[in-house]
Structure 1
């Protein structure tokens, strides 16, 4: 469809009304309904990392996989996430946030249920691809919806806490496998399959909650459905006033836009690469750095503990590591709204990269406990930085391109770090295992450290001071620019504040 399908011009105060809302119970509904997808992703990744030994057992009990196969499974999962993000990101901008965050969660459920019934490595790889496609699509739909529904004052800390909730899923997944991979409690052939099945049960619960989350009013008014957007905002305002017991302040800030049913890919590409080239470089640097650091390190962390450091049950170690990651995003998150985006993003990237490089030099003298301690310290800062990559991509580009921009940078950055990372680390572990020398994986640490530091430097030079600003002031909607440049089309004014 052409990007020239128009429905008129309107002036609306919907963005200002959403941004002036105080925090209320309704916002917790958004967090519960949308933010919990990261718990699912953390659960998926950690279950696979914790079950590396179980999956390497012979067919009948496991799937007879090698360490390289484990790395390949991680790469296939990430490949599915990248392609899913790109495919569903475009659909999210075209058909709306709500339709797609329901569809993508359904795809995740199908993929993870089928994974539980894997009978050989190839079927397992295919199921991981489908599961990844659902999760990747979720990233685009959910990040855009969250940022468009959460008030500007709280957007940074909420976004970071939600992205950091990945590690709640990681902790839950690691503790879950402690029991499910104990052959005295659950038969070895059944435990790892149950782990995937329980993830599907959690996903089904999230789907039921998510049905109550509305479509983004910002998306509605730009796509010619301003009366639906007005209805949604009125319902939110009534809910907030009922919760707080105080009337809401009136707003006098409006925006005039030319509505479009669809926005062409050519327009979106021109926007990203021509109007905002510095922001494009910034997002690429942030995503590549965090993706390589996390996917390369975490996909093979369980293997490192078992093969080199004599750990039989890695669940407890991964749980401790995961808790530190969540606390980093949760505790440091408010500083991104107060100290500022640029200082916090550059600081967390450079510090975590430097600490990882130091750890690479110390590998030969570390045991399971000290390696986990160093990882917990490093990723306390890295988790806040990594979460800020998603925050940055979701707020520094125009609304019409938001979901696809998130998908694009996630896919490119994750493909560079998340596909090559697990393969690279899987090769390093296989080689180091033959030599029985853990220092053989140090080159991976050094590469990850360098990329994180580069991301931090780019953030310091090109970062956007977006803290506590409306999305429309950070990046004006494309349709708003067009509305001021043209006088054609039917003029309409959206209803004012109730």
Structure 2
């Protein structure tokens, strides 16, 4: 453990951390709202523009094509130019593109703007968790990062409210919704003033004076609040060397597949791919599939709103369990229970059954993400943390890209049951990967976890 990390580890949860939670959480809220609102636009745009099932699926995948590129670039650049810059640039990109989406009059232009917006949201989603987790002590890092991911649920609920209350008002009300998703650009003023760079990243880049200044401000805020900090224990002043030449993107990517990290990298890729495929197969299409199963758009949206509300306890229960039973157990348990819920959704034939199974699936799949977002940054060392997290998230987006398109092909042939029955198998594969290939992280500092990887 280094001096900077030792000083961070002794800090209690404070007003500083609550501000970070709110800043990152609001970013996640609007990321989720921007992506989730598309599910409520698709049934409307399909009718207005006369889209085929395949075109609708491609439109649903457009955001996630951008996600794939954005997450990959954010991770690579986050380790090179810093987490803070990437987070702020990502905010600007997705807000501007969301505003442009409101001007679309055809399928092609709307698809292009959604891809660019997805680039911004994918970049931000990939960088926030590894960035802000580096400010947090081991004893509450899992709950903090899980709660941070919990803000996604507020974005999904906001999207459902917009879909239920605004979109049905007029034929072009969806344009107003897209303008609303661009409003977070105002947060940039706050972030520029109040968001510091990660001191752990600065230390890894040999920028010790800047890292010391940030941690000193964190300590001063705690002591001014009347908290007496514990004396520092003797620490080894240095960092764990993993990837020589870490200023190179190529070297960072190679380090992920070196012998010591290859298993971890493969595990995170499988984990992200399974949960993201299953998640977006469900949430991108659920309003449209309910309509095609005979519900009105308004009733479909009201069902979706209730299902989306289940995300909130799902996320925050997962965040709580991160520290109680560990990240691996939380992720695997929620994936398995999500698979059971998906199977129930596939087999049910009633509206009540759809509602109950949908609520359970929403609860468990979002609880899984609370574990995934906490676990992924922890298993990679500081100098490749953003790269590792970004690439895992990016690979996961391949599932998000494929899911809406595959649903567009599969639903006409296999129906409601075939679509959601497939998610059960995919989730079980992800759970096994986490249990068999992962490493425990609960109660360990980021530096201790990294050192364990080096010694393997």
Q: Output the TM-score relative to the length of structure 2.
A: 0.93
Partner of 1:435: none
How far is the alpha carbon of 1:266 from its aligned partner? 4.0
Tell me, yes or no, if the aligned pair for 1:285 and 1:455 is still in contact at 8 Å.
yes
Partner of 2:369: 386
Please report the RMSD computed on the Cα atoms of aligned residues, expressed in angstroms.
2.1
Say whether residues 1:217 and 2:202 are aligned partners: no
Aligned pair partner of 2:436 in 461, 464, 469: 461
Q: In the TM superposition, what whole-angstrom CA distance separates every residue of 1:447-488 from its partner, at most 9, and x where no partner exists?
A: 21111111112222222210121111111399x99xxxxxxx
Aligned pair partner of 2:312 in 317, 320, 326: 326
Mean Cα displacement is larger for which, 83-92 or 116-125?
83-92
Say whether residues 1:55 and 2:45 are aligned partners: yes
Partner of 1:28: 18
Distance 1:140 1:166 in 2: 13
Partner of 2:217: 235
Partner of 1:251: 232
Distance 2:123 2:32 in 1: 15
Tell me, yes or no, if the aligned pair for 2:153 and 2:315 is still in contact at 8 Å.
no
Tell me, yes or no, if the aligned pair for 1:346 and 1:457 is still in contact at 8 Å.
yes
Partner of 1:304: 289
Tell me, yes or no, if the aligned pair for 2:25 and 2:152 is still in contact at 8 Å.
no
Alignment of 1:37-436 (within 5 A): 37-58=27-48, 63-183=49-169, 187-189=170-172, 191-201=173-183, 203-211=184-192, 212-243=194-225, 245-252=226-233, 253-257=235-239, 262-273=246-257, 274-313=259-298, 314-362=300-348, 365-367=349-351, 369-415=352-398, 417-429=399-411, 431=412
Tell me, yes or no, if the aligned pair for 2:327 and 2:441 is still in contact at 8 Å.
yes
How far is the alpha carbon of 1:309 from its aligned partner? 3.3
How far is the alpha carbon of 1:444 from its aligned partner? 2.4
Partner of 1:476: 451
Distance 1:199 1:64 in 2: 25
| Structure 1: unaligned runs, 5 residues or longer | 1-10, 433-438, 482-498
Distance 1:181 1:304 in 2: 18
Query: Between Structure 1 and Structure 2, whose CA radius of gyration is higher?
Result: 1
How far is the alpha carbon of 1:262 from its aligned partner? 4.3
How far is the alpha carbon of 1:28 from its aligned partner? 1.2
How far is the alpha carbon of 1:200 from its aligned partner? 1.0
Q: In the TM superposition, what whole-angstrom CA distance separates every residue of 1:345-369 from its partner, at most 9, and x where no partner exists?
A: 221111211221233122xx121x4
Q: Output the TM-score relative to the length of structure 1.
A: 0.85
Distance 2:374 2:99 in 1: 30
Mean Cα displacement is larger for which, 220-229 or 307-316?
307-316
Tell me, yes or no, if the aligned pair for 1:112 and 1:199 is still in contact at 8 Å.
yes
Tell me, yes or no, if the aligned pair for 2:334 and 2:367 is still in contact at 8 Å.
yes
Distance 1:372 1:164 in 2: 22
Mean Cα displacement is larger for which, 115-124 or 328-337?
328-337
Tell me, yes or no, if the aligned pair for 2:68 and 2:397 is still in contact at 8 Å.
yes
How far is the alpha carbon of 1:426 from its aligned partner? 1.7
Tell me, yes or no, if the aligned pair for 1:263 and 1:400 is still in contact at 8 Å.
no
Tell me, yes or no, if the aligned pair for 1:47 and 1:177 is still in contact at 8 Å.
yes
SS at match of 1:257: coil
Say whether residues 1:452 and 2:392 are aligned partners: no
Tell me, yes or no, if the aligned pair for 1:425 and 1:441 is still in contact at 8 Å.
no
Tell me, yes or no, if the aligned pair for 2:80 and 2:248 is still in contact at 8 Å.
no
Tell me, yes or no, if the aligned pair for 1:346 and 1:456 is still in contact at 8 Å.
yes
SS at match of 2:230: coil
Distance 2:160 2:21 in 1: 23
How far is the alpha carbon of 1:261 from its aligned partner? 8.1
Distance 1:215 1:100 in 2: 11
Tell me, yes or no, if the aligned pair for 1:222 and 1:258 is still in contact at 8 Å.
no
SS at match of 2:239: strand
How far is the alpha carbon of 1:441 from its aligned partner? 2.9
Distance 1:328 1:131 in 2: 27
